[in-house]
Structure 1
């Protein structure tokens, strides 16, 4: 900016020298012509703001700031007199900062690699404040003041105090995904007009879904038996010990006894907050997929037909439907090895329909 400002100043200095031999009559004519050209440009700009650069603002502010407001208004500037005065204040403030800054004063700036390491430690260890981070740096042989760690974290928008030690809900879900099941009730209506309640559970890490049952009358006894069946199935599959949490909402259809049943199996029940579906977001996302891919597209006659459709959809979801979280794998089916070029040239694919064509699956023709 300083180079451009100097160029503008030199240019206008030569322009001022050109004005010296001119008489007042010639100057008045030139002023009127310039004013008319300015009016034409203002009409062309309309409501658009002129593109003043920093050097332009500094030059105009230095040139026009000594004039009184009345004189500035008579000049018919593109900008208002208040804008010119604000430019002058900003220019003087920046000039004062530049003159008062001493680059050699204070402590030297922390090495970039150390700053990155501090931010990495804070990101990978959300329970650490600036003191534990400073201690870890000391163990690594990096000599740094605790206040420096505090300042680096604060400058990057990371809270350096102990308030960060509270584990967020998202962090809990991510770190404990292998140990979390989520469940929910889904309501639907069959063509017979009967309202049906579907109880399903999903594993957070593998995204495997199990439909625990469907009924028109979700009594406490029915729900209790469904939870007992779930516990027995997990035990038979050898996965009961890995499950530590079950997330559900506060629906009145859940009896208080299921917390005791799950507790005896070493599973803790975690209740979501009222009207906070995001706390059970993975289950809510599956419910959305179920409605979009099955319930909203299939004509379900009665409860028996709904059960058969849910079994088909459960098989499709667990063994064939891909998931972005699983890198395009299905919950119970790994991604196969890539095909060889010869196989791709002789590609043969057949389609398998489920539920009368509601769901499509594609496989290699044998």
Structure 2
């Protein structure tokens, strides 16, 4: 009976969308004869809701369970001082919150977007990132070739719902942060200036800015060891390093 219990719990753990009847049926297919009520009782005793409603995996469940293998991307629009409209394509890793700015262009053609996808795949391979899913919206700027490039690399495209930005909320929050902390406070002269500002913000975002979603760590750096010495706290010497003429501020201990 213990082996049956372990098997039931394994099936429940590996298939969170299954109810007890689905697990019972799988056991029967495996030749394991056990009453459906027994499966129900095993799940209940283990603190797992045996009802089928448990299965209805929510979008939040999917994001949490797949965070380590999940990417998201989006286009961000901005306007230069001359009135030219530029489009920025960026990708974020859900687990680490690391952002990658793939480029900026005035004309996001299918060729340009597909090449950005190829560059992303190469960057992920160089960083040994094993992504399985990429969330994107249904923007017409994403050509079929964009999806094909990622599919060939083993990355499945997950489309967000129509007018449902919360399905891509982590990427949307980065877009808001980029606007609020950079673009709304910077006069962009041209495409070259935009790319320079974005690279500075990308490095700041990944290496210095704390993120509540990852316990205030930084995407590329864990939190340091807490300072416990009262004397050291009393004599803190914190220096400010400014980027982009003071648009971005970084604070560090004096050397």
TM-score for the superposition, normalised by structure 2: 0.81
Alignment size in residue pairs: 227
TM-score for the superposition, normalised by structure 1: 0.58
Please state if 1:267 is matched with 2:166.
no
Change over 3 Å in CA distance of 1:130–1:255 after alignment to 2: closer
Helix, strand or coil at the partner of 1:325: helix
Change over 3 Å in CA distance of 1:133–1:251 after alignment to 2: closer
Change over 3 Å in CA distance of 1:257–1:123 after alignment to 2: closer
Give matches, 1:206-285, under 5 Å: 206-239=96-129, 242-285=130-173
Deviations 1:24-56 (A, max 9, x none): xxxxxxxxxxxxxxxxxxxxxxxxxxxxxxxxx
Query: Which of 316, 326, 338 is the matching residue for 2:204?
Result: 316
Match of 1:345 in 2: 234
Q: What is the deviation of 1:304? A: 0.8
State the alpha-carbon separation in 2 of the partners of residues 270 and 133 from structure 1. 27
Deviations 1:59-82 (A, max 9, x none): xxxxxxxxxxxxxxxxxxxxxxxx
Pick the structure with more helix per residue.
1
Change over 3 Å in CA distance of 1:226–1:357 after alignment to 2: same
What RMSD, in angstroms, separates the aligned Cα atoms of the two structures? 2.6
Max radius of gyration: which structure?
1
Match of 1:195 in 2: 85
State the alpha-carbon separation in 2 of the partners of residues 132 and 269 from structure 1. 28
Match of 1:112 in 2: none
Please state if 1:326 is matched with 2:214.
yes
Match of 1:305 in 2: 193
State the alpha-carbon separation in 2 of the partners of residues 296 and 309 from structure 1. 12
Q: What is the deviation of 1:161? A: 3.5
Match of 1:168 in 2: 58
**Runs of 5+ in structure 1 lacking a partner?**
1-121, 135-144, 153-157
